[in-house]
Amino acid sequence: MLKGIKKIVVIALSSLAVIPATGQDLLANQAPIDRKMKAVDSIQLQKLLEAEDFENPAANLYEDWNNLYTHRATALPDSFRINLREFCMPTDSRVITSNFGARWGRQHKGLDIKVYIGDTIRAAFTGKVRIVRYEPRGYGKYVVIRHDNGLETIYGHMSQQLVSENQEVKAGDPIGLGGNTGRSTGSHLHFETRLCGVALNPALMFDFRNQDVVGDEYLFRKSTYSQESAQATNLRGVPGSTAGIDRLEANNNSSKQQAKKKSGSRFHKVAKGETLSAIARKRGTTVNALCRANGIKQSSKLRPGQILKY
């Protein structure tokens, strides 16, 4: 009788011991399935996000996607970081014939770059074509592209457009050919960069002289934009020169010298890894003077491509 009871207890205890182990085995077996389902969910989510980006790039900045208007100004954020990586220069021309800013009693909202009829014009960044249109008294044959980084770029006065509305393009894809259509006095590319429909100086981001962007990113700040725009024009703009690179450089140097005489200021483009103290030594000034001139602190983080006054 006692032996029988002991046997029953042993069997019962053995069964209890087996239950958790079996449960653990089931969980262990289920884990790979859960991981697979999670991967599937992630893939589906990524596809949905990509589809949304395709339908309306930079949807967090723009309320809608339509092909009705060329540009419509909306509220600008106080600050916005624009990614300039994976870019392509829209043309390999280095000659700027007209700057951003006041011109002939009105605002010139972009840069004019010397190109010839038939020269290839390329998308500056990956994005989606929003407008392909002809405006005889303005842009001529032009294209508007909305990019994933929040910018919209406009390419005007082309002789031919090579893309269609709602087409997805990659940085460097041909989108048109240089021309002299619309309100134009000679073959050139009118190039605009806009954020929330507001024209920003392309020289803040693109350095056509060196066929490069100014850095990995540009931090737009509403409070300092006007000053930065003027500095960028002084550094990279060349008013009214079409006689080639040599004359272009001479005019540019002359403009810089005149600006220096008027303001007594010079400018330094921050290289990767540079510190305020290193820049101060290089430019024969002090860290405190650099901070005062640029409205920054000694602890401020410098970014490659940033322009400092000294």
The answer to whether residues 155 and 190 touch, using CB atoms and an 8 Å cutoff, is yes
- The architecture in CATH of the region 265-309 reads Roll (3.10)
Per-residue HEC secondary structure of 186-224 comes to CCEEEEEEEECCEEECHHHCEECCCCEECCCEEEEECCC
DSSP 24-52: HHHHHHHHHHHHHHHHHHHHHHHHHHHHH
Closest of 119, 126, 120, 61 to residue 88, by C-alpha: 126
Provide the whole-model pTM: 0.62
**What was the pLDDT predicted at 212?**
93
Report the run of H or E that residue 234 belongs to, with start and end. Answer: helix 225-236
Gap between the Cα atoms of 157 and 136, Å rounded: 9
- Residue carrying structure tokens 């389902």: 37
79-245 to CATH, choices 2.60.40.420, 2.70.70.10, 3.40.50.720, 3.40.50.970: 2.70.70.10
**What was the pLDDT predicted at 289?**
85
Per run of 10 residues, the mean pLDDT along the chain (length 310 residues) is 47 50 58 60 65 66 90 91 95 92 79 95 97 95 96 97 97 96 93 95 93 93 90 69 38 45 63 84 84 84 83
Q: Tell me how far CA of residue 36 lies from CA of 25, 29, 30, 46, 115, in angstroms.
A: 18, 12, 10, 15, 53
The answer to whether residues 280 and 309 touch, using CB atoms and an 8 Å cutoff, is no
* CA count, 13 A, side-chain hemisphere, 13: 6
- The domain spans of the chain are 24-55, 79-245, 265-309
**What was the pLDDT predicted at 248?**
39
Its sign, for the CA torsion 5, 11, 13, 16, is: negative
**What was the pLDDT predicted at 179?**
96
**What was the pLDDT predicted at 305?**
77
**What was the pLDDT predicted at 185?**
86
